[in-house]
Copies of this chain bind each other. A is one copy, B any other.
Amino acid sequence: MSSIWGEKVKISVFGGSHTEAIGVTIDGLPSGEKINMEEVLKDMARRAPGQDKTATPRLEKDFPNVICGLKDGFTTGAPLTAIIVNTNKKSHDYGEIPELVRPGHADLTALYKYGRFSDFRGGGHFSGRLTATLVFAGAVCKQILKRKGIVIGAHALSIGKAKDEGFDSVNISKELLERLNGEYFSVISSEAKEKMYGEIEKYRLEADSIGGVIECAVINVPKGIGEPMFGSVESVFSSILFSIPAVKGVEFGRGFGVSEIAGSENNDPYRINENGETVTETNNAGGILGGITNGMPIVFRIAVKPTPSIGKEQKTVNTNKNENAYFTVHGRHDPCIVPRAIPVAEAAAAIALMNLIK
């Protein structure tokens, strides 16, 4: 594992912030699946920068060129590769690197791992820009899953102190998820969004940044997918979710909340519903017991750290002279990456699910 993920459906991600192009190969897709490129572009637009004041106005074209794997709009069963040309390859914004390593970024760890040959321009292969390829792959997977009835949607649950309402985890409608799925910076409650904009603006004005939490749900998940132990749904999902840059926490269902409640509250009671199906009255398990789905919605949350690039002066070290130094990031950066990371969470969930479904 490094830049390739998956077993049944593998994605291979390549490129860096300032290489000629970035791209992704999806290997193992079934043949005969119609892929609507308009839908894919909509998801990619949700991740694209420069949409509002929360995001950098830097121009970044995210147009994916599918060079193989589709014929007449249908998957052929052969690897599907999309290339996104980097049109903005100048790197002068990051000229001080890696002599002065940026705090909170991977500059120093890349130096440890790859030495001076690493591509430090704009974060290289560590750049958040690579998540465009995840969104592309996820958008392809989502269409295939949707044909099976499975719908995925995410929203900003919190940004700093501003909170959205959470999912009602036993009862999540397709309509809600599709709405979230179709919006930039999706939230459940529109008031939450205003508060979140306020929170982001506060940090932006201070030349600072702020983190947040994204909540994602998947409905109509087939029962009985996942494996005991190492192939648990949680293991598979977390493995790709923690691959999204800036994610420092992942939880399912009640998540860390389970630590403060009694078993009698946490155990989801089983009931037969009006259709004769077994459901649970609560969904603290997030749809997963023993690593395997029970048919209830899968609900998870990821913690997204504040953008490490901030306008404030920071303490760093000069790696050539091995001495203390100070560093200020020039250029403009997103004061909060949560809004743009929402479709990335959905994409990761879709890719993970494609690997779990038979």
Docked complex Cα distance between A134 and B261 (Å): 27
- Could you say which residues of chain B place their CB within 8 Å of the CB of A103? 267-270, 280
A-B contact pairs, 29 of them (CB 8 A): A1-B235, A2-B229, A13-B79, A15-B78, A15-B79, A22-B68, A78-B114, A78-B118, A78-B119, A104-B289, A109-B292, A112-B224, A113-B292, A206-B264, A210-B263, A230-B239, A234-B247, A248-B254, A249-B255, A257-B303, A259-B304, A261-B306, A263-B307, A264-B310, A269-B314, A269-B315, A270-B315, A272-B322, A272-B323
Contact of A213 with B by CB under 8 A: yes
Q: Are A67 and B23 interface neighbours, CB within 8 A?
A: yes
Kindly list the 10 A-B residue pairs having the minimum CB-CB distance in the complex, ordered from nearest: A106-B290, A112-B224, A249-B251, A209-B263, A269-B315, A104-B267, A78-B125, A19-B68, A109-B292, A263-B306
Instruction: Decide: A67 near B21, CB < 8 A? Known: A228-B106, A258-B305, A263-B104.
Output: yes
Docked complex Cα distance between A158 and B257 (Å): 12
Interface residue stretch chosen among A4-12, A54-62, A186-194: A4-12
Q: Are B267 and A308 interface neighbours, CB within 8 A?
A: yes
- Could you say which residues of chain B place their CB within 8 Å of the CB of A203? 262-263
A108 (CB) vs chain B CBs: closest residue: B294
Contact of A231 with B by CB under 8 A: yes
Contact of A110 with B by CB under 8 A: yes
- Could you say which residues of chain B place their CB within 8 Å of the CB of A74? 117
Q: Which has the most chain B C-beta neighbours within 10 Å: A4, A159, A254, A292? A: A4
Q: Are B101 and A270 interface neighbours, CB within 8 A?
A: yes
Q: Are B290 and A126 interface neighbours, CB within 8 A?
A: yes
- Could you say which residues of chain B place their CB within 8 Å of the CB of A48? none
How many chain A residues touch B (CB < 8 A): the figure is: 147
A256 → chain B closest CB, angstroms? 4
Known contacts A126-B228, A211-B261, A257-B303; can you find 17 more A-B pairs with CB under 8 A?
A: A1-B7, A1-B235, A4-B12, A12-B12, A14-B69, A14-B80, A77-B125, A105-B290, A108-B289, A130-B229, A160-B260, A208-B263, A210-B261, A211-B258, A230-B243, A248-B258, A249-B255
- Could you say which residues of chain B place their CB within 8 Å of the CB of A276? 322
Docked complex Cα distance between A240 and B259 (Å): 20
Contact of A179 with B by CB under 8 A: no
Instruction: Decide: A223 near B294, CB < 8 A? Known: A3-B27, A104-B263.
Output: no
Docked complex Cα distance between A3 and B239 (Å): 16
Docked complex Cα distance between A312 and B310 (Å): 53
- A111-158, CB < 8 A from B: 112-119, 123-126, 130, 158
Contact of A71 among B117, B249, B292 (CB under 8 A): B117
A278 (CB) vs chain B CBs: closest residue: B317
Docked complex Cα distance between A286 and B303 (Å): 14
Contact of A330 with B by CB under 8 A: no
